[in-house]
Structure 1
């Protein structure tokens, strides 16, 4: 055959496939993947004509166009449409659209799965190397009854987490704050992950600093210590001195950790999703949301510009509150990037190694420092709204003069005015023993379910208040653990910002005890809440509060008499009525419209099907061809319409999608 004829035939075939695909997708009325529609059209074009020829004799093609030829072409086209639609609906029933990824997604997903599989094997090898493989079988081991055995296992777990990389080190840090979940031996061992991760070589760290600041280190620093002051999971810190003579520290991110963190977070979120879907305890604590929150926080922590802005915000809040005993580093302008952070160096040592400094200060000063730190955090939560989320002992410096410093402000929480107000009301209710006020404030903080027994919640909070505020030393971590148990028992959803507050307070309890072993977080917070409530009731503060409220209510109060007069006049003359608009919500209107459409399609499909059956049984009538009457042609057309309408209803039902 001539090449021109071949090319012409190919073009016509492609146009035919495109036309049939477009019409099939349009007739179905829902979003169908283009690939699926094209495949269904190709199959229909291939099988329809042989099947039709077996049922109906193909008319002879001559020099003139006959009625039989036109009817045959029309019947062939209608049958092709019907077969293609049937194939699409059948494919939708067997394999719903979107359940199988496309070729590109399949290739990318295959590479991702291959990478994850390699990572899974690596994690298993790490667990095996550190003797943890026997604990991956899900069985309970009774051989760890002694403190020495638990301590040995905790040490192996810490080393395995260190070898696992950044993500697992950060996970260990999170677990080290959960004294309500882990034995003391594990908490103590995992706490070493906070600032004792193995450092990277100086050559790699210097290369990253040089790349980020854009020039040689000698142009910016007079000297820089190659041995890090501290090495954490995400970054390590080096002491340095600027050309201006100012002592600074350089926080440099570990090279090439972004890809590893992204892959490991994907593994953790997938695992949490499986447990959330298949276990009751996973659903009860919202494991998937917790994993996604951890992933979002860690991703943000990798961007040091966020920490730079956090330091500035916290410093401004401390200055407004007049907290002279607490300091935060000041970032150096022009030397802070997403991977390197240069800030002034604060005097002091971390609480994790400040035994000698604290011993010199004495018990009275230590108690005062703990009170100052708690007061600062309370001010952050209830006044400024910006607070340090991860204030563990490794992130708090204590100087010889008794001042404290906050480090590592990559994890900072922010509370809006309404949340701060509700938080203050909750703490005030706990401080005064008012369980009703505490319950109301707690419901303002959390996401309440559709049905909740508020009376039972109030009683449970009352029991909690009596248990932990009735006098005597109290374990703050246990108190927050009991609060979380209560929240889970009543199916209350905790927003991320509120969860950050609870986490900050639970972490703060260990830090306060590191400053003063006898410090009682619950009792002191209760006393501060009472003092804050008394301060709000002070005449000067009360007058200020009343003025603020009246200023907000003044526009409403000014319009109120006019509106009352209009209502009274309408009631007096019988014009007062209430109008209720049915289906005022657009979602309700869409739902009713879709139900009407589907019902109408079903009725039309059934009606046209019955009409076609009746017309097929009618004999005689005007003949269109030698064998087909007008009734046969109409019956065939109605049958095709009935099938098309029926298939459209079916695919909408199977897709559960709006038409």
Structure 2
């Protein structure tokens, strides 16, 4: 064959494959990948001729004219090709669903990350095996954790495994240590001992990162900078410095390469959570996959220092609006801050974890006042501004010699919408007044309620909690929140992430308040603050303002109300007042019914045409199209092909679960 004829034949063959591919995708009625359809068509074109030759005799090609037998053979050849291609696609969809196997381009691009992830998988499995946790990855129910000692031993093993796992798993353990609604008390107590500490990186690496991020030398940026870090954690380390303007600052420098490690570990964590969610009962019961996605988003945000910069500005603005005195938030130096370097004001004081001498010097009255100021600030953040510090543990609070407090590490903050803030405020106020009915209604507004719930039993349970923890005397806030989480779990109430952040912040705050004042009663003081807040809201001036806001929103409705009432009265007087109920008004209901009707019609048509083809094949006689085939045989063959196509279309729709 000459090169020209070979090129022409290749072009015709490619065009035929493309035409058949488009036709097969159209006949199936769903979006099958173009690669899969092309491969199926190519295979069908290759095997159709031998298959058809085994069933019927190929007519002799006439050089003078095209015969009817030749036209019928070509039509039958095309129909069999379509049927075989569709059969191949349906079988492939059953065995290997479309999209379940990555394409060659994805395989080529991701082979390095997969290799790195595979090594990390093995390392994590070795850590789990070394600490005796491998048996919990198999999906079986374990009954050997019924005693406190057994749960404590398992919690200790889990803590050690998380410490060996690195920064991502340490952060995960720290977040889980505040989730009393998910873990038993033994696990919460053990995981709370996780420390986010690490050896400092060499000064040369930190200095290079600052120069790379800012594009300027250290001499241009600072009058002086301390090479020895003030603190070093797994994500970043902090250096003291002084700007050329004389202002004292701290420079937070992210560890080089930490983004890659965290991204890899988060990917593994989400995959493990997906596997455990699919294979284990306990993974599904606690919504492990959603927790993993939420943790991944929070940690990714924490690695971006511009988020922390914006958080500092937002919290500081809220403190200014509320007129809070005695609590400070460092101001960021925006022109020197990037996503991996954060320069901020240096606050005076020492961390609360080592401020015992300062607190003793301040005296018990000042300590109680500091604790009340901190609690009032957090309550204002939760119920007024909507932006609050999620992880305000003693290490993130500075105590100065003059009795002022400083909030640090605002990389992780929570945010509440107006509706959630109102419901949360109503819940706390109802606790303060002892109204269990209002408290249960407010709680149901902030959680995800199941389809069925015994609201009377919930109200009684909340009433018991109110009597137990607000009857008088100091109350352990951690125990109170633990009881509330137990109640939420017993009624199968879902806790949204933003509400879980509130509970986490309050549980963490309890230990911080006790570090400031060992005898401080979080529950009692929060109850009194809720009462005073309700009293302020009931003040005539505030009440007038609230009424004006409500009336301004209702005014457009009230303005149109007389006209609408007049129209209704006129329609009723003349007998024209009717009520219509539209079936399937929801678009989702219409879509479901339409899909069922379509699939039913396709199934009925496939069965009907199949039966008709069988009947026509049994009919003898009739007009002869060729020497061997009658018109009934031709019609039966056409109906059989239609029946097979319709049946395969129904099957592919079922397997793909897409809209017909």
Q: How would you bin the TM-score normalised by the shorter chain?
A: over 0.9
1:186 aligned residue:
190
1:433-461 Cα distance to aligned partner (Å, 9 max, x none) = 11110111111111222222211211221
**Whole-angstrom CA distance in 2 between matches of 1:576 and 1:157:** 69
For residues 288-299 of structure 1, the aligned pairs below 5 Å read: 288-299=289-300
Measured in 2, the distance between the counterparts of 1:438 and 1:168 equals: 36
Deviates most, 94-103 or 632-641: 94-103
Q: How far did 1:104 drift?
A: 2.9
CA separation in 1, counterparts of 2:654 and 2:133? 47
Deviation of 1:338 (Å): 0.4
Rounded Cα–Cα distance in structure 2 between residues aligned with 1:438 and 1:223:
55
Look up the match of 1:389.
390
Q: How does 1:113-512 map to 2 (within 5 A)?
A: 113-123=114-124, 133-134=131-132, 136-137=134-135, 161=162, 164-177=165-178, 181-182=185-186, 186=190, 189-190=193-194, 192-193=195-196, 196-512=197-513
Aligned twin of 1:45? 45
2:99 aligned counterpart, secondary structure: coil
* Counterpart Cα distance in 1 of 2:499 and 2:55: 71
**Aligned pairs (5 A) from 1:71-90:** 71-90=72-91
Distance of 1:591 and 1:428 partners within structure 2: 45
Deviation per residue, 1:53-89 (Å, 9 max, x gap)? 1221111113122211111111111111111112222
Aligned partner of 1:646 in structure 2 is 647
Deviation at 1:586, TM superposition (A): 1.9
Q: Which blocks of at least 5 consecutive residues in structure 1 are unaligned? A: none
Hey, what's the Cα distance between the residues in 1 that align with 2:146 and 2:71?
84
Q: Secondary structure at 1:641's aligned position in 2?
A: helix
Alpha-carbon shift at residue 141 of structure 1 (Å): 9.8
Aligned residue-pair number: 649
Return the offset for 1:492.
1.9
TM-score, length-scaled by structure 1: 0.93
Q: Is residue 2:12 matched to residue 1:8?
A: no
Deviation beyond 6 Å, 4+ runs, structure 1: 139-146, 156-160
Output aligned runs, 1:545-584, within 5 Å. Answer: 545-584=546-585
Residue pair 1:284, 1:488 contacting (<8 A) in 2 also: no
2:43/2:85 contact within 8 Å kept: yes
CA distance in 1, matches of 2:539, 2:395: 38
* 411 and 655 in structure 1: CA distance in 2 versus 1, 3 angstrom threshold: same
**Where does residue 597 of structure 1 map in the other structure?**
598
Answer yes or no: is the 8 Å Cα contact 1:248–1:342 preserved in 2. Answer: yes
Unaligned runs of 5+ in 2: 137-141
Matches within 5 A, 1:15-94: 15-63=15-63, 64-94=65-95
Greater CA drift, 176-185 or 86-95: 176-185
Q: 1:270 to 1:188 in 2, by over 3 A?
A: closer
Deviation at 1:357, TM superposition (A): 1.0
Aligned-pair CA distance for 1:648? 1.2
Deviations 1:74-111 (A, max 9, x none): 11111111111122222222333223332233445654
Alpha-carbon shift at residue 277 of structure 1 (Å): 3.0
Deviation of 1:552 (Å): 1.9
In structure 2, distance between residues paired with 1:105 and 1:518: 60
Give the distance between the partners of 2:524 and 2:103, measured in 1 at CA: 60
- After TM superposition, give the deviation of residue 297 of structure 1 in Å: 0.6
Question: How much has 1:503 moved relative to structure 2?
Answer: 0.7
Over the aligned positions, Cα root-mean-square deviation in angstroms equals: 2.5
Q: Deviations over 1:454-473 (max 9, x none)?
A: 11211221122222212222
Cα separation, 2, equivalents of 1:199 and 1:432: 51
Mapped contact 1:284–1:491 kept (Cα < 8 A): no
CA deviation string 1:153-198 (max 9, x = no partner): 96x97776555332123224324546863469735632x42xx332
- Decide whether the 8 Å contact of 1:609 with 1:638 is kept in 2: yes
* C-alpha contact (below 8 Å) 1:285/1:488 kept by paired residues: no
Q: Structure 1, residues 555-611: CA drift from partner, whole Å, max 9, x if none?
A: 222222222222222212211111222222222222222222222222222222222
Provide TM-score, normalisation by structure 2: 0.93
Q: Is the 8 A contact 1:162 1:197 kept in 2?
A: no
Q: Is the 8 A contact 1:150 1:186 kept in 2?
A: no
Q: Distance in 2 between matches of 1:332 and 1:552?
A: 41
Distance 2:77 2:27 in 1: 17
CA drift of 1:135 comes to 5.2
Match of 1:103 in 2: 104
- The separation in 1 between residues aligned to 2:526 and 2:257, in whole angstroms, is 43
